[in-house]
Structure 1
Amino acid sequence: MKNAIRIIIAAVAASFLLAPVAQAQSRHDHRPGQHHVQKKHHVQKKHEVRKKQAQRHHWSKGQRYSDWRRHATVRDYHRHGLKRPDRGQHWVKVDNQYLLITIATGLIAGAVAAR
């Protein structure tokens, strides 16, 4: 009886030790072209991301800009030739434009091209 218990305990211990090794083995599918297709798709995705970054947006008064919190507030507005913002508004530089954003709603109250 003791030998049977020792064998069972040894088998369980061995399974705990060998389980990570079995999971760490890489699986190689030797299908030609599968790896190449994945690589081609990855390159195409990078190209699409670059294309989106290159697009510029022309902002105008009355549009909603929901992403204004990501940009730093322009504190030295006089230096950039901007008027003092009213209460509840502040200037944000986006791309090559200064936007006067209403803080409560995110609406653009004014837009000026940067110099």
Structure 2
Amino acid sequence: MKLFTRTLLAAVALSFAVAPMAQAQQHGHDRKPGYSSSWKKNDYKKKRPHWSKGQRYSDWKRRPPVRDYHRHGLRKPGRGQQWVKVDNTYLLLSVASGLILGVAAAR
């Protein structure tokens, strides 16, 4: 009975040691570190829009305005303007037209 208990305790202790190593394995990545294929780069660029002044952001009414702009390092919006966060970017928009008046990266 002692041998069975020792074996069981050893198996449990081994499972605690091996489980984190099994989770840390990179599945499906058998290329050199730092290598990325071109389709991933192009796919990433398609999903990430680049905003600039003068563009129109049509979906701005669905986004809540940023009220604590000082906390995010943004300047106070002028009359008829508001900041909205889109993905990882803050856009200063004209409330009347949705025109982008300024762009700031989120911290």
Please confirm whether the aligned pair reaches a TM-score higher than 0.5, indicating the same fold. yes
Match of 1:95 in 2: 87
1:94 and 1:58 map into 2 onto residues whose CA distance is 11
| Aligned equivalent of 1:68 | 60
| Larger helix percent | 1
The offset of 1:56, in angstroms, is 1.5
1:61-114 deviation line (CA, Å, top 9, x unaligned): 110001001111000000000000000000000010000000001100000000
Point out 4+ residue stretches in structure 1 off by more than 3 angstroms: none
Identity of aligned residues (%): 68
- 1:81 is the counterpart of 2:68: no
Unaligned runs of 5+ in 2: 1-42
1:20-39 map, 5 Å? none
Give the letter aligned to residue 94 of structure 1. Answer: V
2:48 to 56, 76, 81: 56
SS of residue paired to 1:78: helix
Give the distance between the partners of 2:73 and 2:53, measured in 1 at CA: 18
Please state whether the residue corresponding to 2:57 is helix, strand or coil: coil
Unaligned runs of 5+ in 1: 1-50
1:105 aligned onto 2:97: yes
Q: How well do the aligned residues superpose, as a CA RMSD in angstroms?
A: 1.3
Q: How many pairs are equivalent?
A: 63
Instruction: Flag the structure with larger Rg.
Output: 1
SS at match of 1:79: helix
